[in-house]
Amino acid sequence: MYFLSHLLIFTVIALILFIYYRARKKLNYFKERGVPNSKAIPVFGSIWDNVIRKKHFFEVFTQLYNDFPDLRFSGFFMFNDPIYLIRDPALIKQICIKDFDHFVNHSNNIDIDIDPMLGRSVFFAKDLRWRHTRNILSPLFTGSKMRLMFSLIAQYCDKIMNTLLTNANGSAKEFEMKDIVTRFGNDIVASVAFGLEVDSLKNRDNEFYVNGKKMVKFDGWPGIKLLLASVCPRLLKLFSKSITDMKTIEFYVNLVSDTIKYREENENFSRNDMLDLLIKAKTKQSIKSDEDEHQFEESFAATEHHSLENTESSIEWTDLDIASQSGTFFFAGFETTANSTCLTIHELALNPDIQDRLRGEVDEVLEQLQGKLLPYEILQKMKYMDMVVTETLRKWPPLAQTDRVCSKQYTITNSDGTEVVLEKNDIIGIPVFAIQRDPKYFPNPEKFDPERFSDDNKHEVDPATFLTFGIGPRNCVGSRFALMQMKAIIFYILKYSRIEVSAKTQHPIQFEKSSFTLNAKNGFWVNFIPRH
C-alpha cells in the first residue's frame, strides 16, 4: 500500500513535470520562426489574466493587439496553441477572401460523432460538409427571404411591447433588458426556425425556453467539453457522449420531425419561415430565386454572400440535420443578437439626443404606415436606424476575435520583411474588437457616434476594419437575420416608450469576466417611460 501510494505520487509529479516541460518547449515556437510574440507562460499561454478572471477576454485580446502596433502580425498562445495574430486589414482580406481556399475552417470544429447536433451545424462543420451545408443555407438568408419572415417578427414585437407596458399608466417601468430581449429572441427563434408559437414572457419556464437556455450554456462543464472537442476530442469521448445534453437533442429533433410531418400532410400549409425553407432544402425542392433582391436597401453591416464552387454531396439530410441548422440560431445567434440589442438600448439611454433623432425617424415611419404593420422594405430604408445599430456593432462586437485554420502551406510577410511559412493546422486570429477600437481606423473609438456610418462618411470605412460579422466566404450567414431582429425590437420599443437610465444602469458598463462575450456584470437595466 505504502509503495503504491508513493508510486502514484511519483507518477503524478512526473506527469505534471512532463506536461510543464512540453508546454515550456512550445513557447519557443514563434522565436524559432522569427515572429515576435506576446508574453506567455507554460500551459496557460498569453491569456492567464483571463484564466484568473483579472481581465475580460476583450481586454486581453486588445492588450495582445497593442503589444506590437507596427507589425502586420505577431504571435501569442491560447493555452498551448500558438496563434498568429493578424493586425493588418489588407492581410486579413488576403487570407479570408483572396486565398480563402487555404483557410476554410475555424479552429472550433466538432465532428458529428462527438456531438450529433453541433457537429452537423454549419457553424462547427469543416471542409466538404461545411461547403455543402453552407451552399444550402446561404440562399435562405438573403434579403428577400428575410422579407418573407419579417411579418412574423414585426407582429410579435408589436404585441409584446404593447403588453409589456400595459398597466404602466404613464409612469416609468424598470426592466432588466437581457431577460426581456432573451425571451423576445427565444420566441422569434421558436416561431421562425421551429414553427412554434410560444410566449416566454407569460409562460416563463416553457419547455422551449428551458431547452434553449441549455443549448447556449457554454460556461462550466459544457464550456470545458467545447474546448476539449477541438483540443482533444478523444479525451472528450472518454468522459461524455456529447456536448449537448442528449435529452435536449431529442427534444428538438422530435419537435422538428412532428412539424415536418404536419406540414407534409397539409400540402397547402405555408408559413414562409426558415423551417419551410430548410424542409425544401432537405427535399431538394427549388427555392424561389431572388430576382427582386435589388429592391432592398442593404444594411451597412450585412455580410456579403460569396459564391462557393458547387459541391455535389452524397450527404442526405435527415430531420437531425434540419434540427441542427435550426439549433444554429441558438448557439450562433442567440447570445450575440441579444447582447447587441441590449447594448443598443444601453447606448440610447446614455445618449438621449441620438435616441430623440431615432424616435423622430420611427415616428415618421409610423405616420406613413397609418396603423399597418412595419414591412421589411421600409425597415431597410430607415437610414438612421441602420447608423445606430451599425455603430453599436462597431463599438461592441459580441465576439472579440474570430479565426481560421491553415489547410495548406502559405507564406506571409511581416512589416520588417520576415517571411513566414504557415503550415497545415496553424491557426490565425483576427482581432475584431481591437481593430474596431483602434483610433487609426475609428477616431475617438470610445465615443458612440452613428455619424461614422452616414451616407457622407461610410465610404471612408475600410470593410476589412468592420469585422463584427467576420469576413469572406466563412462570414456570418445570419447577419441579415440578426440585423432585422435587432432593428425590429428597437423600432417597437421606441414606438411604445422612451428609454431612460435607471438607478441600476451601470455606467461605465462592466462585463462578466468569465463570459467569452459581452454579458453585463449586473445586467442591462433601463427605465421605459410609456408614450401616449
Spatial separation of the C-alpha atoms in residues 523 and 490, rounded to whole Å:
18
Of the ranges 49-57, 455-463, 475-483, 518-526, which one interacts with ligand HEM (CB under 6 A)?
475-483
Q: Which is nearer to ligand HEM, 37 or 390 (CB)?
A: 390
Q: Which is nearer to ligand HEM, 472 or 530 (CB)?
A: 472
Compute the least distance from the CB of residue 137 to ligand HEM, in Å. 7
Cell numbers at residue 3, please?
509503495
Place of cell 491553415: 406
Cell numbers at residue 356, please?
430623440
Which of 149, 476, 490, 518 is in the footprint of ligand HEM by CB under 6 A? 476
Cell numbers at residue 527, please?
427605465
Q: Which is nearer to ligand HEM, 389 or 412 (CB)?
A: 389
Interface residues for ligand HEM in 314-343 (CB under 6 A)? 328-329, 332-333, 336-337, 340
Spatial separation of the C-alpha atoms in residues 514 and 518, rounded to whole Å:
10
Q: What is the 3-state secondary structure (H, E, C) of 14-73?
A: HHHHHHHHHHHHHCCHHHHCCCCECCCECCCECCHHHHCCCCCHHHHHHHHHHCCCCCCE
Q: How many residues sit in the footprint of ligand HEM (CB under 6 A)?
A: 25
Compute the least distance from the CB of residue 34 to ligand HEM, in Å. 27
Compute the least distance from the CB of residue 332 to ligand HEM, in Å. 3
Residue type for position 358: L
Interface residues for ligand HEM in 391-410 (CB under 6 A)? 397-399, 402
Interface residues for ligand HEM in 109-148 (CB under 6 A)? 122-123, 134
Q: What is the 3-state secondary structure (H, E, C) of 224-286?
A: HHHHHHHHCHHHHHHHCCCCCCHHHHHHHHHHHHHHHHHHHHCCCCCCCCHHHHHHHHHCCCC
Q: Which is nearer to ligand HEM, 74 or 336 (CB)?
A: 336
232 is in an annotated binding site: no
What does the longest C-alpha to C-alpha distance in the chain come to? 86
Compute the least distance from the CB of residue 439 to ligand HEM, in Å. 22
Q: Which of 180, 182, 187 is nearest to 164 (CA)?
A: 180
Compute the least distance from the CB of residue 20 to ligand HEM, in Å. 33
Q: Which is nearer to ligand HEM, 160 or 405 (CB)?
A: 405
Contact 127, 259 (CB under 8 A): no
Q: Which is nearer to ligand HEM, 180 or 399 (CB)?
A: 399
Of the ranges 69-77, 238-246, 363-371, 476-484, which one interacts with ligand HEM (CB under 6 A)?
476-484
Spatial separation of the C-alpha atoms in residues 249 and 251, rounded to whole Å:
5
Compute the least distance from the CB of residue 303 to ligand HEM, in Å. 8
Cell numbers at residue 41, please?
507562460
Spatial separation of the C-alpha atoms in residues 492 and 485, rounded to whole Å:
11
Compute the least distance from the CB of residue 365 to ligand HEM, in Å. 22
Compute the least distance from the CB of residue 32 to ligand HEM, in Å. 28
The string of DSSP codes covering 329-386 is: HHHTTHHHHHHHHHHHHHHHHH-HHHHHHHHHHHHHHHHHHTTPPPPHHHHHH-HHHH
Q: Which is nearer to ligand HEM, 75 or 472 (CB)?
A: 472
Q: Does 478 bind ligand HEM (CB under 6 A)?
A: yes
Interface residues for ligand HEM in 204-263 (CB under 6 A)? none
Q: Does 181 bind ligand HEM (CB under 6 A)?
A: no
Q: Does 107 bind ligand HEM (CB under 6 A)?
A: no
SS3 label, residue 10: helix
| Site map (CB under 6 A) of ligand HEM, residues 424-463, x = contact | ----------------------------------------
Q: Which of 318, 139, 375, 110 is nearest to 228 (CA)?
A: 110
Q: Which is nearer to ligand HEM, 332 or 489 (CB)?
A: 332
Q: Which is nearer to ligand HEM, 164 or 486 (CB)?
A: 486
In total, the chain counts a number of residues equal to 532
Which of 184, 469, 496, 516 is in the footprint of ligand HEM by CB under 6 A? 469
Compute the least distance from the CB of residue 231 to ligand HEM, in Å. 19
The string of DSSP codes covering 509-528 is: --B-TT-SS--BTT--EEEE
Site residues, ligand HEM (CB under 6 A): 122-123, 134, 328-329, 332-333, 336-337, 340, 397-399, 402, 468-471, 474-478, 481-482
Annotated binding site for heme: 476
